[in-house]
Structure 1
């Protein structure tokens, strides 16, 4: 080190005084002459005079390797004491991000669990307790309850059928077979949890709930694999502590008996009235309604119609008194059936008296309503051995099965096709033009002396009817459709009503406007236009129809699914159409599942429709769809703005850091600031997402 210091001082002296350069093997003049050379001349001079660059270093008494080592280990003053700050800052940022992310995931999981618990508590089922029909939470169903099952229900427990009306169950979730299984008392009375009621209605006595039901057993088996080791440990402990286990077993038996008493206690309690009151609170808010009698009804027609409407409507449909004095009656159940029951009350006839005289168990045969029949029929057996069948349904379908009609004098006269056409022109079409859905009421008698009909042959039973009356029902026109149109949403009506009624309702709603070139088609015409000669659906044919289609009347659930699929798969417009579908029936499940967003009715909707949907409207109100769209767009705009801000800041920061590093060839002060800013932005991003994600 001493020699180096002397040599270094010698260099200083040589720079100051040109004469004192004898200590080195090269003079200052030689170095100046060397630096004036260029390119190959300089290289040749170095090789001829000094051998190479190391030769020059030797003459100058310096070592390149020693200099590189000193430079590489060089530190500024105080850098060793503060160097840990950068690492600690990065570690702290990572810890903060991990904690925020973990808290975010935990809060979301907590919200989802709370929502699931709330849904389970709100899911109710109809049972009979204390002689009263009430609705209770599914978790409160106990063994021994008499449960009412109806079209669209998801069975929450196992049971045995004690009374059924054309009951068909979808057991594909358990067996994998898509065919519906017909349930009856004499052939197959077992009903299993997790299956869906596709047709009919009935009652069952609950035999297994919770982990003992079919669904519970499956879930128990799914979790059995993880519990095998615990069971082995328990067996070892049992061998060591037999005496203690015996005492514990006795205590467990006593507790089990107490638990059974507590489970069966609701059967003896007075929950009927409270449950009924809860059910009443769940009913829709009353709306202003009006009843207009456009024609006269004879006493015989009123009497037969009273019995027909009372027993040929689901017994779960009823009209409750208003909650407040002077208020409107509340409708519970199917709204169409409630309207018919309201007609009886307006005629000063009490339907409940008929139901008390003829309970649901006394119904001999019921052909429940579905999208194929578009009607409902109920068979009663009289005391003299005769039978009477009551039918109600779409007017044009029931009228085709009527051979007689009650005259103004109350006598049944022959009903010819010409008379049917007159009723269509004078009664049905005028009602349909005013937006009324027409329903025909009819009946038929089977004399006692004749052989008992084959009740499974529906086509031979529901024919030769006698028409009682044609009634019209007006649906409320929601103003929310106009809000949807102002928001850029195209509303299309897919209904089972006839085309005249559908067109009138669509005009009132604002779906159709006079003078516009839009299509109103029936289901048959729609299928004829979209299918080729082989009966196959072609997307090109659908693309020619759906942009102008506004009303699809007399359609089936299959037509609804076809239309939804056709719009989603269409390539007519540059952007793919986003389709939302509303539905309440079991057959609406495929369309709800296929749509981008499926809305199911929370009150009138079946469990099958609710499972297939994405959003459940708890109030069955179309206005709620507008609110959902508003909130969805608001959240989408907020996320878009947040992502734009994040991308802008992060991209600019990365570009600045990269450019600065490339230009300066070292870590500049600006680069350090950008790196710290990126870490802060990462932390800020997670904090913002903590509050933004729950809104999604």
Structure 2
């Protein structure tokens, strides 16, 4: 098509904002502009822009207001009502709903069979229903809040686009790109909108997400196919530019792009379940199974023992409610959300919570050097030309160390550094000092740009006088960048080829070298001089680049010659070597300490870099990856003055592997390197080789974290257990492939992430241990209720008050607990063996601390009943008469008669006291759960949320006990002040016992299972001894001792003297031990 075929009617027939088939037709017509000049003329007439100037800011704002942001409409998500229903009917909720339905069913049957049925079942059913609804609402709120927080994290790393507006390059958010914008993309960028390519240099895009093509597709300004999906001059939104550079004009944005219309392809993958969620779900299944098994078992047992089926149903409900930690799931959600927010504040952006847990178990970190271990603030430090090393002058006024700037060799070197360079200063910075200006470009090219700008003046003018006409961008395979320019210098050819890259690669392409402005053969002597200079600069830890050029002969390359960078039709060998320039990138200040932390934590840090082995080794020693005193094979050979092949590789703790050698290694040889060397550096590696290294580490059973910033790093990032992309220097492709993004590109942030990952795992275990411990004192009352036939010590409603009231805030407060001193001094966790909930945790929570808590509750229960005339030995088998509402003359241990109403008031008071006792012993449980092995005195009480949790559960217990109306609402009655102190000795016992246990663990690490067995055996021996003493010495005395305790009711007056109070407590304690010893 020519521009004459286009008029206003044609434009109207194919509107820019058409829908459906019109959009396809419009893109087809637009793609047919094979003539760039015709295209530019058309764009000018439609948008009043020029292909070199771009839109004005005013015009762009107008189009943005008309079209809206350049973003896809979010894909359909799970409806909120479905999420709400999942919280209401998922997990533990179904058990509680089952209990509530059974309560309503039992009440309905009672109402049909009895004239005045008891309201207990109806009341309990209402309470259970309310609990499910309240916890469901809370969990839904927490999930919604967590989702909003994770969504907000995505905005912390928005996609950027480089556009030309008003003749100046600007980096803007991709959402601000509008139709008609002039956009530049390079390898690693994500295409920000549908583009019509108007110029390209070696540009290839990955269209696999759109067309399924696995191979990168070339992009040029030429129209090549009627199908817009197949033509070479259209680049599509959300595809990736994998190499080269291109400039294009935006033809569609947002939902009007091709990808926007294929919404299902653009919606992304579903978020998988995290390991933590899988483990918690597994734990839920275990708890549910145990609850159902115990409930059904005791339901059947109660029927066998002669209970009515209604009573058996109540047992079933009680067992289920006692086993279910109703508040645990909400606690876990809060803990994970807090950790994600905390990591974001520390510059670690997790894209999913799986990254947090995986990072905590990392055992190997494969890290890039530039920008991660170093500051990515390159500064030209030295130059080598005319066979001499010169120190660069990077002062603003050029008052530093000087060198011979009149040298013709320096002039050629500076010209190559300025022309073979894509870095440009951003707009509106002319008033700033050169060294403080922001640059669009990578760190190395930015350093070269600033150096040449300081030494030689405006690089932009240099480029305008010598315009670029062809380019081969740098890639990890060639390791060089080449460009061809029109040359207007007198006495030189019309075309100048310039190249820069890895020094050894550049030297291999050269046959001559410039000395004092004249070319001479590149002989062995000059190669030795080059090698010495290269090693000297690399040994300083500096990144070294080589530079060369070639004057293309006019007779072979006339002024209108069409250079082809795909099928190269110009020489790339026999060039003229000019010199070297080296740049220093200082290590980040926090990196050595972070590497030291990794070493203490059992994490191997491997440097993977494209730099020369000498440079890589120097940096590795500077940041501590190679420790002082540790030698490589080369160091040992040099020290012993023997050939390298005579050194046993296993004698060297450190190792520097060249990428050229790596490709020749078998998997077994690579495994040996990874296995027998603790400090490893891979130098001159390609991104493809990084994938081989990751696979080798994983063969060793390591959990591998990998950093990457380039498009070719994405395979390694995906293969690693956790991929870490750079937020500043990272390409859009690497950010998409990664699990976590470092907002500051700092290696120390990875170590912070590892620490946070370990901390959240520790704190979740602590929170679960705290929550589970109270299950034993909640279950055992029902077991004794059924087996020993005693009055119910703890009611279902009071259990819910514990799980959803007093335990909730303290459990959440453990998420705020600071890391223990050994968190980065222990070996990485093995996810296959070290589970979130394991035998050790169950042993402590259920077998030890939970049992002591149950004793505390029963002790308080028996104290209150004894003070009211019912000694422990007389309670066995009394339940049937106790719960019979028609018996109003039940006698206690002293012959006094009790009515049904009086007995129930005493029973409900015992429920309240048992509840308070659990709260008091949970004080000690919360404090001991602060640490794994450290003493509480070492950890301190700095967790303000935890201190608040202690006060909160105490205040709530007091409120429920003493608030008027609670006797009606929750069947909770006021307690005497002295009854609060019955559980204090047990709380103190828990604290002392656990401190001794942790002391033994610290002094004998590794013997924890034997210690637990010893402690349990010791406790059993003490119990047996006490029971024997009671049976032979105290029981006859207790049986003969008379007197009654104080009664709760005013109609029942106490008859025992006050002086017998302490003796009664001591008798009571022995009775309890005897009772428990006999029953268990």
Q: TM-score, normalised to structure 2's length?
A: 0.47
SS at match of 2:474: coil
Cα pair 1:602 1:616 within 8 Å, conserved: yes
Is the 1:306–1:351 Cα contact (8 Å) retained in structure 2? no
2:1019 equivalent in structure 1: none
Residue 626 of structure 1: aligned partner: 751
Shift of 1:318: 6.5
Q: Is the 8 A contact 2:670 2:696 kept in 1?
A: no
In structure 2, which of residues 411, 414, 419 is the aligned counterpart of residue 303 of structure 1?
411
**Match of 2:204, SS?**
strand
Shifted more, 84-93 versus 187-196: the winner is 84-93
Q: 2:803 maps to which residue?
A: 681
Paired residue for 1:19?
A: none
Q: Which residue of 2 aligns with 1:35?
A: none
1:601 aligns with 2:726: yes
Distance 2:458 2:424 in 1: 16
Q: Tell me whether 1:112 sits opposite 2:150 in the alignment.
A: yes
Is 2:526 the counterpart of 1:416? no
1:338 corresponds to 2:446: yes
Which residue, out of 792, 796, 810, partners 1:669?
792
Residue 99, structure 1, aligned to residue 228, structure 2: no
Q: 1:144 and 2:180 equivalent?
A: yes
Contact 1:291 1:343 in 2 (8 A): no
Question: Which region of structure 1 is more displaced relative to structure 2, 470-479 or 390-399?
Answer: 470-479
Please list, as runs of the form range in 1=range in 2, the aligned pairs for 1:250-329 lying within 5 A after superposition: 291-292=381-382, 294-295=389-390, 298-316=406-424, 328-329=436-437
Aligned length: 542
What residue in structure 1 maps to residue 629 of structure 2? 515
Structure-2 change in CA distance of 1:129 and 1:460 (3 Å): closer
Three-state SS of the structure 2 residue aligned to 1:492 is strand
* Pairwise CA distance, 1:475: 1.9
The reply to whether residue 503 of structure 1 matches residue 626 of structure 2 is no
**Separation in 1 of the partners of 2:548 and 2:659?**
26
CA distance in 2, matches of 1:205, 1:175: 22
Partner of 1:213: 257
CA displacement, residues 510-555 of structure 1 (integer Å, 9 cap, x when unaligned): 11124322211112323433x1xxxxx35x8515534515101111
Output the CA distance in 2 between the equivalents of 1:183 and 1:469.
Answer: 34
Q: 1:504 to 1:82 in 2, by over 3 A?
A: closer
Do the aligned residues in 2 keep the contact of 1:319 with 1:341 (CA within 8 Å)? no
Q: 2:664 aligns with which of 528, 546, 549?
A: 528
Cα gap change, 1:156/1:326 in structure 2, threshold over 3 Å: closer, same or farther? closer
On the 8 A contact 1:318/1:333 being kept in 2, the answer is no
Is 1:659 matched with 2:659?
Answer: no
CA distance in 2, matches of 1:671, 1:692: 27
Deviation at 1:196, TM superposition (A): 0.6
**1:557-583 deviation digits (Å, cap 9, x = unpaired):** 122111112212324xxxxx3221111
Distance 2:718 2:244 in 1: 24
CA 568–78 in structure 1, closer or farther in 2 if over 3 Å, else same: farther
**For the structure 1 residues 627 and 374, does the alpha-carbon distance in structure 2 shift closer, same or farther, using more than 3 Å as the test?**
same
Separation in structure 2 between the aligned mates of residue 398 and residue 119 of structure 1, nearest angstrom: 40
| Cα distance in 2 for residues equivalent to 1:141 and 1:589 | 26
Secondary structure at the counterpart of residue 462 of structure 1: coil
Aligned-CA RMSD value = 3.5
**Separation (CA, whole Å) in 2 of partners of 1:331 and 1:141:** 20
Distance 1:669 1:78, change over 3 A: farther
The answer on whether the counterparts of 1:520 and 1:553 sit within 8 Å (CA) in structure 2 is yes
Choose the corresponding residue for 2:506, options 398, 410, 426: 398
**What is the alpha-carbon distance in structure 2 between the residues aligned to residue 111 and residue 124 of structure 1?**
22
1:182-221 pair list within 5 angstroms: 182-186=218-222, 187=224, 188-219=232-263
Q: CA deviation at 1:608?
A: 0.5
2:597 aligns to what? 486
Higher relative contact order (CA 8 A, sep 6+): 2
Are 2:380 and 2:583, in contact at CA under 8 Å, matched by a contact in 1? no
Matched residue, 1:351: 459
The gaps in structure 1 that reach 5 residues or longer are 1-71, 224-283, 532-536, 572-576
User: Could you tell me which residue of structure 1 aligns to residue 577 of structure 2?
Assistant: 467
Instruction: Give 2:853's aligned residue.
Output: none
**What is the Cα deviation at residue 655 of structure 1?**
4.6
Judge conservation of contact 1:100–1:686 (CA < 8 Å) in 2. no
Task: For 2:451 and 2:765, locate their aligned partners in 1 and report how far apart those are by CA, in whole Å.
Answer: 53
d(CA) in 1 for partners of 2:810, 2:186: 47
Q: Where do residues 14-163 of structure 1 align in structure 2 (5 Å cutoff)? A: 80=118, 84-116=122-154, 118-119=155-156, 122-163=158-199
CA contact (8 A) 1:443 1:465 kept: yes
Contact 2:206/2:240 (CA < 8 Å) preserved in 1? yes
For the residues of structure 1 that align with 2:487 and 2:421, how far apart are their CA atoms?
A: 19
* 3-state secondary structure, aligned to 2:534: helix
Moved more, 630-639 or 183-192: 630-639
Shift of residue 316, structure 1, vs aligned partner: 4.2
Partner of 1:435: 541
Does residue 372 in structure 1 map to residue 469 in structure 2?
no
Change (3 A) 1:126 1:318: closer
Q: CA deviation at 1:112?
A: 3.1
Alpha-carbon distance between aligned partners in 1 of 2:418 and 2:508, rounded to the nearest angstrom: 23
Aligned partner of residue 546 in structure 2, secondary structure:
strand
492-501 or 330-339: which moved more?
A: 330-339
Whether the aligned pair in 2 keeps the contact of 1:455 and 1:461 (CA below 8 Å) is: no
Q: State how far apart, in whole Å, the 2-side matches of 1:419 and 1:115 are.
A: 55
Name the counterpart of 2:340.
none
Q: Distance in 2 between matches of 1:303 and 1:220?
A: 56
CA shift, 1:418, in A, is 4.2
2:201 pairs with 156, 165, 183, which one?
165
Q: Distance in 2 between matches of 1:690 and 1:108?
A: 15
8 Å CA contact retained: 1:309, 1:340? yes
Query: For residues 512 and 134 of structure 1, what CA distance do their matches in structure 2 show?
Result: 41
The 1:600/1:319 distance shift into structure 2, 3 A limit, reads farther
Q: CA 1:511/1:82 → structure 2, altered by over 3 Å: closer, same or farther?
A: closer
For the Cα contact (< 8 Å) 2:259–2:266, is it kept in 1?
no
Q: Who is 2:671 aligned against? A: 542
SS in 1 for 2:484: strand
Provide the rounded CA distance (Å) in 1 between the counterparts of 2:502 and 2:216: 25
Are the aligned partners of 1:401 and 1:465 in contact in 2 as well (CA < 8 Å)?
Answer: yes
SS of equivalent to 2:554? coil
Structure 2 stretches lacking a partner, 5+ long: 1-109, 225-231, 268-373, 384-388, 391-402, 631-652, 818-1080
Q: CA deviation at 1:604?
A: 1.4
**Equivalents in 1 of 2:725, 2:265: separation in Å?**
32
